[in-house]
Amino acid sequence: MQFSTKEDIEAPIETVFAEITDFHGFERSALRRGAEVRRIDERTEPGVGMAWHIGFKMRGKPREVDMQVSNYDCPNGITLSSLSPAMGGDMVIDLVALSRGRTRMSVDITLEPKNLASRLLVQSLKLARGNLTKRFKLRVAEYAMDVEERSKRSV
């Protein structure tokens, strides 16, 4: 199953890349939402190989996922790969400079079920695909607006 969207952001590509690679900020955000986040790599600089073990509740059940940065192409984008016993997937974020102060961000998420229970979950997600796609696009648009606002404040 795949979700895709694009957003244009009024900020230079370097600023947008810095925002999408603010891993400490994302860790804090996940912790505030009740997830357990633990870094499992030894890297000191951002790049390929950064990894986290994440625990959270979804649909009333505890879930665990390992996330890893599998592609880090400054300032053009990143790829995060996730792996759990039931599901795998990738989130690819590509950035394209439209002008000196404008960037297009493309976000693609792919989910791959690995067992029968996760296949049933993905099947139920497909039934609600329209609603989920709308919510996904709205969240990405909100994130893009937040990046624009932070960019304007830092100028």
Give the residue-averaged pLDDT of 90-99: 97
pLDDT in tens, 111-138: 999 999 889 988 988 899 999 999 999 9
The whole-angstrom separation of Cα 101 and Cα 86 is 41
CATH topology of domain 2-154: Alpha-D-Glucose-1,6-Bisphosphate; Chain A, domain 4 (3.30.530)
pLDDT of residue 132: 93
What amino acid is encoded at 117 in this protein? A
The 3-state secondary structure of 33-64, one letter per residue: CCCEEEECCCCCCCCCCCEEEEEEEECCEEEE
Asked whether the beta carbons of 105 and 2 are under 8 A apart, the reply is no
Judged against a pLDDT cut of 70, whether residue 148 lies above it is answered with yes
* DSSP type of residue 75: T
* Per-domain boundaries in the chain: 2-154
Percent of the chain with pLDDT over 90: 83
Residue pLDDT, tens place only, 5-32: 999 999 999 999 999 999 999 999 999 9
pLDDT of residue 155: 65
pLDDT bin (cut points 50, 70, 90) of residue 58 is confident
